[in-house]
Amino acid sequence: MQKNELVSRYEQAAAILPSRLRKAALAVSDGEKAAAEELRLRAGRPLTVLLPGGEAALDAEVEPEELETLCDIATEFSRYAAAETIREGFLPVRGGFRVGLCGTAVMKDGINTNLKNLSSAVIRIARERRGVAEGIAPKLFQNGGFLSTLILSPPGGGKTTLLRDLVRCLSEGGPEHPPQRISLIDERGEVAVVCRGAPQMDVGPRTDVLDACPKSLGVPIVLRAMNPQIIAVDEITVREDLAAMSLATGCGVGLLATIHAADVPELLRKPLYRQLLEQQVFRLAVRILRNGDGRVYALEELPC
- Among 15, 16, 12, residue whose Cα is nearest residue 99: 16
- In Å, the largest CA–CA distance within the chain is 59
Residue 113 confidence (pLDDT): 80
CB 239 within 8 A of CB 272: yes
Mean pLDDT of the chain: 91
- Tell me the pLDDT tens digit for each residue of 23-50: 999 999 999 999 999 999 999 999 999 9
Task: Using the predicted structure, report yes or no on whether residue 293 has a pLDDT greater than 70.
Answer: no
Residue 275 confidence (pLDDT): 82
Residues 296 and 273: their CA atoms lie apart, in Å, by 23
Instruction: Return the amino acid letter for 165.
Output: D
CB 72 within 8 A of CB 93: no
- pTM for this entry: 0.80
Give the CATH class of 137-301: alpha beta
Query: How far from each other are the two terminal CA atoms of the chain, in whole angstroms?
Result: 38
The CATH 3.40.50.300 portion of the chain extends over 137-301
Considering the chain, what percentage of its residues have pLDDT values greater than 70?
A: 99
Dihedral sign (CA 110, 112, 113, 119): positive
Q: Averaged over 140-150, what is the pLDDT?
A: 95
Residue 72 confidence (pLDDT): 93
The CATH 3.30.450.90 portion of the chain extends over 3-124
Write out the E strands in 4-69: 38-42, 46-51, 54-61
pLDDT band at 129 (very low <50, low <70, confident <90, very high): confident
- Tell me the pLDDT tens digit for each residue of 217-270: 999 999 999 999 999 999 888 888 888 988 998 899 999 999 999 899 998 898
pLDDT band at 282 (very low <50, low <70, confident <90, very high): very high
pLDDT band at 122 (very low <50, low <70, confident <90, very high): very high
Number of Cβ within 10 Å of residue 114's Cβ equals: 13
Task: Using the predicted structure, report yes or no on whether residue 187 has a pLDDT greater than 80.
Answer: yes
Query: Which residues, 6+ apart, have CB-to-CB distance to 18 below 8 Å?
Result: 66, 69, 70, 73
Of residues 295 and 171, the one with the higher pLDDT is: 171
Residues 155 and 259: their CA atoms lie apart, in Å, by 9
Residues 182 and 45: their CA atoms lie apart, in Å, by 43
Give the CATH class of 3-124: alpha beta
Q: Averaged over 204-215, what is the pLDDT?
A: 94
